[in-house]
Structure 1
Amino acid sequence: MHPSGGRDAGRAVARAAVLLVAMGCSIDDGVRPGPPPPVVVASAVTANPDNVLAAVVTARARFADSVAVGYGLAGAALDSATPAVTTLANSAAVPLFGLAPETRYTLRVVAYGGGQVAGGDTLTLTTGALPAELPRYVASGSDPSPGYVVFAAALYGLVIDNTGRVVWYHRFLNGPGLNFEAEPTGRYYARPPTPDRTDLEPWVEIDPLGNVTRTFGCAGGLQPRFHDLIAELDGSYWVMCDEMRTMDLSGLGGVANAQVMGTVVQHISSAGELLFRWSPFDHFDITDLDPASRTGANVNWTHGNSLDLDSDGNLIVSFRSLSEITKIDTRTGAVLWRMGGLKNQFTFQDAGALAFSFQHGVRLTAPDHLLLLDNLGDPSGSRAERYEYDAPLRTARQTGSYGSSPAVT
């Protein structure tokens, strides 16, 4: 054996012996090294250019699985905190929402890892003023509902709390259209108008920081309606679409080449595949519409303006022109029942006539319970109304009615 080889072998044996002794001591003492504590390496806060009531805190943290941000008014305790955000490659971006305008805040990143917590440096942020053209609101009443209200106003999509304070907004170049809504996906949706009214106007999906994350519309080249949408967690969506057909209505008090518009309902996958299609041209009659509304060259036959999914997976759709709420089987397309309008199948209890007319915003608040905006059921003013119904017995009963003072139609 070469002399140097013998020396190397001896050193290796000696190192192994030392390692075994060290391991034995560690095992004997019952001590095992724990994970290192998290360390916030760097952090910064940036105002959101889309919305002065929001900001983003970026952080780099070692040995951390997630980070959050504690914040409060400058000079006061950090009495608010964001949800924790998972780190990726030792970095994370944490959004802050619902800040007050023209206010100075103190912030601090908190890192979590291995059952331990570490804080970063103190940051400061001063929010800007709200846009001068942003609408302002004041809420009144003795029993406001919890939560927030999401709606469109002028050029903005808005979120207000139950005091009327604007807590989030997004400005659209041409406004959001008549509808702006939040969905369980955590995103906002609108169908803003384009300068060319003859082109297809898609829906847009917007994240809470104001970024457009998706645009989409109807299958078959149909125009998406701006009234309502259901966005599902798997990326699919239910959408209403305008379908135009030429019909001869001369024998029904109309014109020979009437352009009749009906509301088609589609369910479309995240990949753009058409999963379900329902058309009133296959299930309704033109005579379901009041005769006075079908005399012109252009007939707004159904005017679908809201849709909701029932607990059984079937659709509840509001057709304003028909003053009707319809339940549709989402497997077969069959009409399950019709409430209101000329083809009403329900008896309205405690009411001398049909209880709603030209309604909007129909929503299921619980099984067999509806909430809607009744536009013209009471000619003196529009009202929000609640209904309880029994589908097998075909009965409905108004359980609540709420109007403004003075009345608004």
Structure 2
Amino acid sequence: MVRTTRRRLRTTVTGTVLALGVAVLMPQAASAQPPRPTLPVGAPTYTVEVNRPQGSPGYIYYSTGMSAAALVPGAEPLLSRLPVTAPANIVLDKAGRELWRYTPPPGQTVSNFRTQTYQGKRVLTWWQGSTEGGHGSGVDMIADEHGDIIETLSPGGDSSDVHEFRLTPDGRALITSYHEVTADLSAIGGPVDARMYDTVASVVDIATKQVLFRWSAAEHVPLTESVTDGRLPGSNVYDPYHMNAISLDPRGDLVISMRNTSTVYDVDIRTGEINWQLGGKNSGFELGPGAQFAFQHDAEFADDDTLRLFNNNSSGFTTLGVSSVQWIDLDLAARRATLARNQTHPAGLTAFAMGNAQGLANGNTLVGWGMAPHISEFSPSGELVYDAALPLGTYRAYLEDRAPTRN
């Protein structure tokens, strides 16, 4: 049952996210270690708190389940006691009524559920597999509007990672994957024979499944750009890069977001050379007031000159402020970055993982607040016109003009 009462859901404390109501607390680390993040849990059901006429018509697409805890190893036994965390792709109307659900086979989870276009037709896409060490190991799925699978995809012989599966108009797919490798991490204070995750961006021809382009973070980005070694509680594997988004810039090159360098990279899709990088330790742009960001997700161009991203502003261990959606104007010639707009949630939400923003046809913006479990819609002036609390966070959320059909 959907409730429509307005609730204050959370407050934010530096380094830790607290949820009022139900909260799953991670075991405390030793006193010499920073506190582990609290895993926030939202409303018992999908709870619509704001639904104003200025909102866009349509249907909410999101994924729920264990993939929401991918960044917090050790949370799974606690979360598995909550029946609302059963993995599923879900479509609801804006009143919160469930219209469609896909449940994966036992032992698998799903994430990044949305509609895209393939061969001129509207399709449903998502990632499916298992999560481990803050990333995913599985396959990407393309289904027709009934939910029947028509293609499965992975980059060559690799497993597809949970973070990105984006289709391009010319029949290609942008896919992330993770590889555990041995590396000398003495440059960032680690051992000379450490285990770490290299993160890879692949461009795949969907029809032939041929990998057209492969770009390794470890081959192009110095380890010293990392702002955190990326080790998660209970893990000895380092994650200095943590690629979490791939999109195309206006020229057709790759825009790659890396959470653990707090940097967005623009990569030549032919040579692999980095054209420019924004944010982090070695930004190629002079950042204007407010244009700074950290631990970001979902970087993509909103127009030819404006990059939009979800600024988490927190890793769960280090918190610099509340999370927001940022629109940053880029002057490529002068190498200046200017904050054009910054959208926060009225409750001051801080998401230590996940999150996205979607530009809508009427100029509004839909925001998935990741591990601060809300889905919101804002007008161009920043007015909150839709807001819903979720049982758990969702990696990304989307508003689409119609729901899937049933056979």
Band the TM-score falls in, shorter-chain normalisation: 0.5 to 0.7
Displacement of 1:406 in angstroms is: 2.1
Determine which of 158, 162, 166 is the counterpart of 1:226.
Answer: 162
Displacement of 1:357 in angstroms is: 0.4
Checking the alignment, whether the CA contact within 8 Å between 1:380 and 1:407 is kept in structure 2 is no
TM-score, normalised to structure 1, is: 0.60
Q: Does 1:240 align with 2:176?
A: yes
1:47-58 counterparts in 2 under 5 A? none
The CA distance in 1 between the partners of 2:167 and 2:176, in whole Å, is: 12
Q: Does 1:382 align with 2:323?
A: yes
Checking the alignment, whether the CA contact within 8 Å between 1:364 and 1:371 is kept in structure 2 is yes
Q: Does 1:249 align with 2:160?
A: no
Displacement of 1:339 in angstroms is: 0.2
Determine which of 265, 272, 276 is the counterpart of 2:213.
Answer: 276
Structure 1 pair 275–144 and aligned structure 2 pair: CA distance change class (3 A):
same
The residue identity in structure 1 corresponding to 2:150 is T
Structure 1 pair 172–290 and aligned structure 2 pair: CA distance change class (3 A):
same
Any idea what the Cα deviations from partners look like across 1:257-304, whole Å, max 9, x if unmatched? 211212211111121212111112221111111265579841112111
The residue identity in structure 2 corresponding to 1:323 is S
Q: Does 1:152 align with 2:63?
A: yes
Checking the alignment, whether the CA contact within 8 Å between 1:138 and 1:163 is kept in structure 2 is no
Displacement of 1:138 in angstroms is: 4.5
The CA distance in 2 between the partners of 1:292 and 1:302, in whole Å, is: 8
Structure 1 counterpart SS, 2:178:
strand
Structure 1 pair 144–187 and aligned structure 2 pair: CA distance change class (3 A):
same
| Aligned length, in residue pairs | 274
Any idea what the Cα deviations from partners look like across 1:101-135, whole Å, max 9, x if unmatched? xxxxxxxxxxxxxxxxxxxxxxxxxxxxxxxx984
Checking the alignment, whether the CA contact within 8 Å between 2:200 and 2:217 is kept in structure 1 is yes
Structure 1 counterpart SS, 2:117:
coil
Q: Which runs of 5+ in 1 are unaligned?
A: 1-132
Determine which of 132, 154, 163 is the counterpart of 1:217.
Answer: 154
Determine which of 223, 227, 231 is the counterpart of 1:286.
Answer: 223
Structure 1 pair 291–195 and aligned structure 2 pair: CA distance change class (3 A):
closer
Task: Tell me what 1:265 maps to.
Answer: 201
Any idea what the Cα deviations from partners look like across 1:360-408, whole Å, max 9, x if unmatched? 1122111121221111167342112221111221111112222223222
Alpha-carbon RMSD:
3.0
Q: Does 1:358 align with 2:291?
A: no
The CA distance in 2 between the partners of 1:355 and 1:141, in whole Å, is: 32
Structure 2 counterpart SS, 1:193:
strand
For CA contacts below 8 A with separation 6 or more, give which structure has more relative contact order: 2
Task: Tell me what 2:359 maps to.
Answer: none
TM-score, normalised to structure 2, is: 0.60
1:166-181 counterparts in 2 under 5 A? 166-173=98-105, 176-181=109-114
Structure 1 pair 273–181 and aligned structure 2 pair: CA distance change class (3 A):
same
Task: Select between 290-299 and 359-368 the one with higher mean Cα deviation.
Answer: 290-299
The CA distance in 2 between the partners of 1:146 and 1:386, in whole Å, is: 24
The residue identity in structure 1 corresponding to 2:195 is Q
Q: Which structure has greater helix proportion? A: 1
Greater Rg by CA: 1
The CA distance in 2 between the partners of 1:308 and 1:276, in whole Å, is: 14
The CA distance in 2 between the partners of 1:291 and 1:321, in whole Å, is: 6
The CA distance in 2 between the partners of 1:188 and 1:164, in whole Å, is: 20
The CA distance in 1 between the partners of 2:324 and 2:131, in whole Å, is: 33
